[in-house]
Structure 1
Amino acid sequence: MADLFDSPHTPNTHQAPRPLADRLRPKTLAEVIGQGHVLGAEGPLGAMLAARSLSSLILWGPPGVGKTTIARLLAAETDLAFVQISAIFTGVPDLKKVFEQARIRRQNGQGTLLFVDEIHRFNKAQQDGFLPHMEDGTILLVGATTENPSFELNAALLSRAQVIVLERLSPADLERMTQRAEKELGRALPLSGEAREAMVDMADGDGRALLNLIEQVAAWKLDKPLTRDQLAQRLMRRAARYDKSGEEHYNLISALHKSVRGSDPDAALYWFSRMLEGGEDPRFLARRITRMAVEDIGLADPQAQGICLDAWNTYERLGSPEGELALANAVAYLALAPKSNAIYTAYKAARAAARETGSLMPPKHILNAPTRLMKDIGYGSGYAYDHDAEDGFSGQDYFPEGMKRPVFYSPLERGFERELKKRVDYFAKLRIKRHSS
């Protein structure tokens, strides 16, 4: 399992190569990258270590943020024996052996920090099995989970362990990690500045993923640094090309689609008829014209999609040839409808933003807090109920913290979108007013 690191170790050329993560394993908590909010002097773990009073813990956070590393180093800094098990591979007989060995260790004057990876995988009865050994001091339990402890761990276990919330690593943390890796490797990675940023983005806050990417990149023999696009080609497997015979099939559906988009009902009906005459499945055409309504008309005419679905349903009931006329009605309607790809464009931009921002959490004020733990860490705090606000609009920010508010949807001055544009502009002005007051 990869560890997070921040220590300038010197490579040893006399030993067989080891995985980069193992070579860069931190030796102290001060070397761990990220998680300053819990490891710092003001953080819960920092305070525990300063007081020499470590309690059982549940480390909750996404993959690759240092849960195993932190547990291992907590044991080292408190002189506890470190024992690691995984809930996936450990059964009741194994646990009994672990507890017995910890009891013997305790009799000899040494405590045991038992690290349980993926502790949420244990059922409720297995979780209860830890309780007596925690209470009598046989073990100090540190569980790691990527799942919400409120739902995955039982109340008895949670009452005896403090939940520590770990955060995904920031781009700055990952860049710092990259620099340490380069120092260990003894050379810079063969990447341009943009490619380097892209590699960090691919890691998506996961230190383990970043180290795997770095090892791949470091193994390449290159004459010059890779660009962003070249890196993407090497690190991302391309989808297999879908090969289907019948070039005319694609040519004609393209002609139909573009005729509809170009508001030419005669041409659209011609290509529609050509496809039917060629033996095209009318259900394929029903599916494609519905897509045209969504992609090229959108909210400029909200009825268009419904007309396509009604035509599709009519065809399913009547079959050929009678039902084909219903599809022809839909084709002509689409060709004459006002056109807008504003939602299509907005959707693509939103998907791109979702990929770029990775797994950023929603702001805490719009998260539900059905449990005490979630309330204690700020879920739902500060949420403004819009129905109680003036004009039924609070103007709160619903994007992740630190993300600049984007504009994806810009309605056009066509068809019904004229009305939607008025609404968008109205709320934009109201939002400015709320934030300035």
Structure 2
Amino acid sequence: MKIKVKVILFTAFIFFAAYLSAQNSGAGNSGLSRGESLFKENNAKDAVQVLEYEILNGQISDNSYNFLGLGYYQLGEYDKSIDAFRRGMKAQPDNKKLLSYNMGNTYYAMKDYASAVSSYSEALNADPLFYDALLNRANALLMSGQLVSAKDDYIDFVNKCPDNPQRERIELLIKALEEEIARREEEARLLAEQNKAQWEEYDGNLNEKRKESFSPDWEKVEAGIENNKKAAENPEWERINGENPEAVVENKTQEKITASDTENEGTRVDWEEFEHDGSSSLAVSEEVVDDVEDWMTFSDDELDEMKELEKQSREEHEKWLEEERRRNQELANREAKVRQKEQEAALEDERRLREQLLEDMRKSEEERRKKLLEDVANSLQGSDSTNLTSGAEDLIEYDLEGELD
């Protein structure tokens, strides 16, 4: 019985000590719940568990969801942090200013700059005088590449917070943004002019090709054929055959006539000279003349046939010559096109290589300048949301004026 009493007393002592410990902890953080106190003690891991338990049991204060989201933020569990802030805005819409601001900081840490800009804008809608959200929104706009909007927010922040300790740095950043915006606009203008000039040149060449494609090539070919015909009727035929067939026929006809006359003279002479020889000699002489005349005489049909053969032969030869000229011309055209394409390909490769080098240099310089601006924006970013400071502590020093001149 005495043992049971001792156990009961010991258990009561343990609970009493735990109660005193809880009271002492609450006294050190007046008005804070156990979970909030753990967060203040930088014990985020235990804080989020206790805060989840307190919220589940209805022990909700004005900062329960805010500390819960910040606890997950410190643990790097950004998705749970976003979820805690959203739950807080749904359960406590009056605390939208603080919860939206901290949600924006979480999105910023996640590099979701578009969502960060939206969250900071919601915080500013809840309280237009919440200038920390204005500065952080400017940072998020810069990180997302919206330089003009970022510059406008920085200018607005400096005008509304002229005594801010970061004013001089922000003014340097504004000047750097103005120069970067002007540089990009000039690059865009030059690129547009270059593209326009290239298109006009291409369009002009295309129109010229369309105009030239109507008939000049055909006219050149046709004119060449006509010139060849006028220059020499049958030069190739004469070189191959060595003589004009018509001249051959005419010569043969003339020879026939001359031979006939010669024979007639010979006949008359023979007749006059040998008339007294008798009829037998005359018969023999006449027979010889008849044989010669038969051998040298061409009928009209034969002459026509010879002319027709000559004509056909000439036509076939001209067709062959024309086909050879056409094949040679096509071969020359193909070779010229191949050479032209090779030259164009070489020039195009050289141009692309040069443009790629310039583009790489431009991108490298643009990335360097962008990295510099982003580093400055990150140094200005306020993320300590427990006391709503602007995050000006531990700033990184950059020679803005020298780097971005």
* Fold equivalence (TM over 0.5): no
Greater helix share, 1 or 2?
2
Question: Taking structure 2 as the reference length, what is the TM-score of the superposition?
Answer: 0.22
TM-score with structure 1 setting the length: 0.21
Structure whose residues are more often strand by fraction: 1
